[in-house]
Structure formats: C-alpha cells, structure tokens
Structure 1
C-alpha cells in the first residue's frame, strides 16, 4: 500500500475554523534526505552573521510596542509636538551573547523608522506629542531583552515604543514575527538536542492516523525544525473536531546550536530559552 508523507510547514488553517480537513497539506512535501528538498525555510537566513560579536538581535516583538487599544494597530503616527533634538550617548546593554556598548539613534530617527514600519494607516493617524528616552523589554529569539528605547506619548494618553539602538544592532528590525507553530524551545547543555512543542491537529481522519517524525534541517546560520506526517493511505477529506496540541518533541542536531537561529519550517524564528 502506498504511503503518503507530509511535512508541517505552517499552522493548519483547518484548525482555525474548528475542523480538520484531511486533504493534502500545501508546502514542503519531500523527504529531507532527498537532494531536491526545498530549503525555503533557511533561504532568508543564509546571510545571517552568526559569528558576529555582538550577534545581531532577532527581535520578534510586534513593533511598535503599544500601551493600549487607543494606540490602535491600524493607525499610523503624525508628529504634533517637539521631539528631543540630541542623541543619547552610546548605551551599554546586556545582550544574550554578552554585554556590548552600541550607538543610539535620535528620537527623530526612531520616529521616522516607526512611521515607515507602520506604513499607510488603516485609520486616522495617532498624534505624537512628545518622546522620552527610556528602557523597555523586547522579545527576541533568545528570550526577553531590556533595551534602550524611545517612548512616544500620544494625545490619546497612550504610548508607542520603538528600539533606540541603531538598526545595525538588529537583523531585519520590524520585519520578523515569532513562529506560531513551534514554542517553549530549549537546548541541552552540549547544544546538540533542541526540545520544543510543535502545534499539530489532535484528531485525524478515521483509519488514517499518521506516523509522526521530527524533522531537522541545518545550515551554518540556522536550524529549522518541525514534524513530518506519514499517512498509511492517500488522504481523504473529512471533518473531525479540531484540537491543536503541542506535545514536547526532541530534535537532534548534528552540530551544536551555538548562535544559530532556530526556525519553524515556514522560516519564522523560534524563541529558545
């Protein structure tokens, strides 16, 4: 009997709608041992400077950090007050790979970056009336990090916070979001075993429960992990209760993780604690 293999690339859309549709899964479908395997998950990370000191920060916070619903995600920003004219001195920060002293941008530069990131507003712009140089916690692929930040006050009494470090300290600042499929990741002391929880449907079509195997794809700059589902027979569509679960999985690495970025099979960074 022919067996059908599929690899989890992103969250199952059917789970979001309360059903599991057991049709073919779109995305990467070949065995990782085959030469034709598509390493799309690693492609955008091949140039990540894994050996640089300090290691570039991989920020996965939803930027800018907003204090409340009044500073809505659909709104842009309009400057309606003066901003500090001077740049703060270089800041010493405790990064995941050790302390470093790094340049800081002016409030005007941070505001320009923030408005460029939010793009064309979906609603009325929020008016920014002032800015304060402060420290804020940001989520990274190596856990939360306290960084210098510019906190912009709005006329609605809310705030929007943007990192104050030079963009050179980050990898693709504002363009990344954390994986929705792989979570609670940790690495062993020798760096060779990654443990994480991977989202997957908790129910399958009757008589077609797959064999589930961990998948690891390694490159010099990153490691992608996920699950491969091997079904005993060609998949047919069916409707069963959706139940996304994430049991703990272990992934064996050929080389120690060190400063490489961990990704899901869709290329989204995973936070490793």
Structure 2
C-alpha cells in the first residue's frame, strides 16, 4: 500500500462518516475517457465551475469524482477511486479530498471560491485546485482560508519534487465540519495576488502563443479545454523542477505533439539534467539524442 493511500485509509477510519473524492481536471481527458467516466453507474461527477458565466467551461474544468459503494463503507470507496486514480484518471488527477460533507455539498462549498476580486476591483477566476494556489492558501492563517478548508478532513495535492523528479504530495488539514460554511469573496493582498497568478498567467500566455503560431497541436476547439490541458501540463513540468520559460514551453509543446511523454524516453534523464543545469534547451536535447 502506498504511503498516500495508507494515510487516506487512516483518516477514513478515524472519521467513519467521511468520504473520499478525487479532484480532476476534466479537460485533460480524451473524449473516450470522458464517455467511459460518464457511463460508469457507480461514479458521481460534481463539476466545480457552477456559475452561469462558466457554462462553456463546466465540463472541461475541475470536478469532484465520487464513488457509490452501494452498501459498502468509505474504505470500499477509497479502493475503487484509487483504481481510477492509478489508471483511467491518472492524467487528469489533481488531488484527493476527504470530507465529512457529501460530495455534492462539498462541490457547492468549493464552487463559492471560483471568484476572487483583483486589485482593480474586477472579478477573476480562482483556480484554487492547482498546486501553487493551494500552497499559497494553505499557508495563510486567515479567516477566509480557514473557512475554505473547513469541511475537509484533509486535502492532498501534488507538489514539485525536483530532487527525485517525481511528484510528491502535500496536504492541508481542515476542521472536518459536517456542514459547509458561507465563503465571502476573496480579496487577496498584493503578496497573495502575486502568488495566486502563478502558473495561470503562464498558461494563458503559452496558450496564446500556441494558438497564434501552431493551433494544429490541439485536438479540441474549446478554449477552456485547451487552457485546462496547458495548465495541467505546466503543473506536471513543475514537478520536474524546470523553471526556464523556454523549457516549460518545450515540455508543453512536446506533450501536445508527440505520441510518447518525454518522461518515458530513455534520454529523458540527460535532457532534464541539462535543462536544470541551465544548459541546452529541453527540446534541443531530446531531439538531438533521438
């Protein structure tokens, strides 16, 4: 049993009324994967972009995936969801949540956080489920963050681990409240605003560049789905500790255009080491070593 799964197991035993759920970026899944997920009678899906202005993004954005154990307990649900997380949903997996709220209520609670007010007074979409945003929110001991995490026993998300080039996991514990709380609009201070922009701004810039010069790399037309794909790939490249803009762009472009992920190539360790050391660009090394 993996360390993460064993910790989830402990929390579910200690909180027998709690339930596990996966948080995925649905836009990363292929159409056949989406069809298979929607066709599973034991799976319940709870999109998080519930506001009317996000209607076109709803089925391509973040959503909770829960399991109906049909008379079983929360450990049976964990077993079933773990299988999905390791196989069918692995490319889209963002995190694990254990909550004392039913999944539909938890989704309603989280959806309250979709909007935040920027320094200019306008509303912005808060992608609270991506690693750098969760890192920022979990470190803030303020009333809004406490209320945001309140219905959760624990939230696990992937974080960069460049030392061993694998995804590590970080967690934040909530208050395990059985009822959701009302979230006021988030008004981030300048430091938090800068931290929250993070990869989202980068994702928009890369998406704009790709659509302008190489739009054929996308197999879908939906802007929201394209943005989800780019944002998810950026979260993956962060796991490898790549910080140069050109290397991060190369990784996204490679994953969108090549049949095999770069991590599966024999030359990946050398290409990664060169990029991390400030040497040749990632794509250059991958192609010259082909």
TM-score by length of 2: 0.22
Quick check: which has more Rg, 1 or 2? Answer: 1
TM-score by length of 1: 0.23
Higher strand share: 1
